[in-house]
Amino acid sequence: MVIQLPMTVNVTTAQKYTIETRVATNLVGKKFHIQMDGVNVSGAITAPNTGNWQTWQTVTTANVSLTAGQKIMRLVFDAGDFNN
């Protein structure tokens, strides 16, 4: 498991959000998840095979429940070998 550097985000309203992540890979079955304050809030997300390491695609994860306040967000690569 590889953890991407953290990013501080300010969630102004507790609700469900849509999070978009840009990824690129020429491999299949690569997965990641999104953590807020060390808690997996997205479940497993599959990075699609985009055909090239520099061919980017947006992955949309809907209905991510977040509580209000300042959070530390991280992308966690469960099965790596892709760009983000």
- Going by pLDDT thresholds of 50, 70 and 90, the confidence category of residue 2 is low
Q: What is the pLDDT of residues 40-80, one digit of tens each?
A: 999 999 999 999 889 999 999 999 999 999 999 998 888 76
- pTM reported for the whole predicted model: 0.85
Q: Does domain 2-79 have CATH number 2.60.120.260?
A: yes
> Where are the domains positioned within the chain?
2-79
Q: What is the pLDDT of residues 15-36, one digit of tens each?
A: 999 999 999 989 888 899 999 9
What pLDDT sits at residue 77?
Answer: 87
Sign of CA dihedral 21, 27, 31, 35: negative
How many CA atoms lie less than 13 Å away from 49 in the CB half-sphere?
5
